[in-house]
Each structure stands twice: as structure tokens, then as C-alpha cells.
A and B are shown apart, each in its own frame.
Chain A
Amino acid sequence: EVQLVQSGAEVKKPGESLTISCKASGYSFTSYWIGWVRQMPGKGLEWMAIIHPGDFDTRYSPSLRGQVTISADRSVSTAYLQWSSLKASDTAMYYCARQNDGMDVWGQGTTVTVSS
């Protein structure tokens, strides 16, 4: 079964760092781009960034460039989304998804809450 399994919910303070993960299984990890999508509370979907684990090519939304870093580890078929200094406005649900013809496989989501 093709699936993406994300790491668990996080509660952090402003200024802290965080890395969340997305583990792929059931397909060739290096053959597809993996993207990250943000959904702030009660809001719509926002495309953030994408990485190709085959060559580590990355693309970011201009509005988020410098705010987050995406990476991947081929040895464990896992993609990551990292913050060096969280803000309250980073509070959201974060989804990873495989980019095929459309985003065809989604993780279950990781809730990130940033509060002092």
C-alpha cells in the first residue's frame, strides 16, 4: 500500500526550532516529488514547498522562502519540514503529499501549535 505517515502533533514556544517528518512506503521514494501544504485553523490549503528525493531539487513558495527548509533522507524514505525559529503564526496543520498528476497520496497531517 502506498502511504505517507507523518510525525505526531507538536506544541512549541515562539523562537523554538522544529522538524516534522513524512515517511513514505509502498513506492519508489526517489521517483516522485513530495510537497508540503499548510492549513491554518479554519482556512484553506496553502502550497508551501516541494522536494525531489532523487536529486534533492527543491522549490519554495516565494512567500515562505527563508521561513522553512525542506529536506529528504533517501536511506529512510522520509521528507522533512524544518523551522529554525517558530512564530505564533506558524500554528497550523501541515500535510505532506506525493506530487504525481496532482497530489495523489497525502499524509494524515501534523498539527503544530506555537504558543507562549
Chain B
Amino acid sequence: DIVMTQSPDSLAVSLGERATINCKSSQSVLYSSNNKNYLAWYQQKPGQPPKLLIYWASTRESGVPDRFSGSGSGTDFTLTISSLQAEDVAVYYCQQYYATPKTFGQGTRLEI
């Protein structure tokens, strides 16, 4: 299995400040034939299902605010929230969909 490790486990950021969450995979999730990273980011608020934010490591899902951005390639990835809003308080997960099982990171709790 590909192991996904997020850091930090929890993070407190002031409103309007930048939040950065890291995700490392135990092997590359870059598919050489199409040069795409099979890495997604999700946001989960209490009592709700997860919501897809980013796919292909850096493509924002339709309707996701542009303060959310993803970067990285190979085994190291980052989710950045450029200016934290109150509604961004949630747990964030990365997931690789390069191989089965399509494993998730352990989650990062983001607080204000």
C-alpha cells in the first residue's frame, strides 16, 4: 500500500493568515505517461461528508474558492489556504488515487 503522511496533525492559524498543510507519499504518485500526479485534497467539516477541493495535485474543483491551492509533485505535496476564513475550519485529507487501495492521509485539523 502507498502510505500517505500529513503534517502537521493540527494547525491553528489566525483569520486572514496563510495555512499550509503537507502530504508525503511513500512512493511516487506521478504517472509518467501523462505527467499527472494522482493526488487529491478534501475538506471535511463536522457532521458532513468530505468535499473534494483539489485533484491532479493542483486543479481546483469547480466552485472551490481560489484561496485554496495545491502544489507539489512525485511524493511531496502541499495544500495552501492563502487567507484563512472562519468557514475553513475543518479537517483536511490528502488521498492518492494512483494505486489501489486509494489511501488517505491521517488528516490535519485546522483551527483558528
Contact = CB atoms under 8 A, between A and B. Distances in A.
B55 interface: yes
Interface residues of B, number: 25
A50 B93 CA distance: 19
Contacts of B52: 102-104
Contacts of B103: 47
B49 A102 contact: no
B102 A47 contact: yes
B51 interface: yes
A23 to B, nearest CB: 15
A60 B1 CA distance: 12
A38 B93 CA distance: 14
The binding surface of chain A is classed by DSSP as strand
A60 B102 CA distance: 10
B107 interface: yes
B61 A107 contact: no
B104 interface: yes
Interface of A: 35, 37, 44-47, 50, 59-63, 95, 97, 99-104, 106-109
